């Protein structure tokens, strides 16, 4: 299991880019942290989610 934003999900073995697409995250408006480290956007397609990972996906919202 992988903890994503506090929720345990069975997504181990999936590439981060695949997970983000599946969950319909707007890639250009998010930042991803994996195990307390920011994941560079250009590596989303290389990062494989592993059991025990802790992932936080933060979305930016405009407004005023």
CB 14 within 8 A of CB 49: yes
The per-residue pLDDT for range 2-42, each reduced to its tens digit, is 999 999 999 999 999 999 999 999 999 999 999 999 999 99
The fold of the 2-59 domain, in CATH, is: Ubiquitin-like (UB roll) (3.10.20)
Distance, in Å, from the CA atom of 64 to the CA atom of 24, rounded to the nearest integer, reads: 25
Q: Which residue has the higher pLDDT, 59 or 4?
A: 4
Domain boundaries, the chain: 2-59
Query: What integer pLDDT is reported at residue 64 of this predicted model?
Result: 61
Specify the pTM: 0.90
Residues with Cβ < 8 Å from 27, sequence gap 6 or more? 20, 41, 44
């Amino acid at each position: 299991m992988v903890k994503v934003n506090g929720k345990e999900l069975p997504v181990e073995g999936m590439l981060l880019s695949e997970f983000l697409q599946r969950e319909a995250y707007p890639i250009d408006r998010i930042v991803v942290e994996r195990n307390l480290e920011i994941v560079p956007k250009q590596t989303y397609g290389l990062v494989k989610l592993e059991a025990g990972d802790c992932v936080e996906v933060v979305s930016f919202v405009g407004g005023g």
